[in-house]
Amino acid sequence: MVKVNEAGWDRIARVVLGIVMLVLGWGGFVGGWLGVVLQWLGFVPLITGLVGWCPLYSLFRFQTKSA
């Protein structure tokens, strides 16, 4: 089982950021290569926010969630 290393505010911010990025990319608000980047990179904060675990936080032994 994966240990949660994100606080509630961090998870909410990631989910909102991911949704905004996906809407901008897939909704056609941003075009060209930047739109494609937003289309795919938007899944990263969305998924890490939903799961509550960030691999970079684990790599650097950092967490926003209090023990």
Separation CA 33–CA 12 (nearest Å): 27
Residue whose C-alpha is closest to residue 39's, from 20, 22, 27: 22
Decide if 23 contacts 6 (C-beta within 8 A).
no
Residue with tokens 């650097």: 60
Separation CA 3–CA 47 (nearest Å): 15
Q: In this predicted model, what pLDDT tens digit does every residue of 33-66 receive, in sequence order? A: 999 999 999 999 999 999 999 999 999 999 999 8
Q: In this predicted model, what pLDDT tens digit does every residue of 1-16 receive, in sequence order? A: 778 999 999 999 999 9
Structural domain boundaries of the chain?
A: 8-59
Torsion of CA 13, 17, 19, 25, to 10 degrees: 180
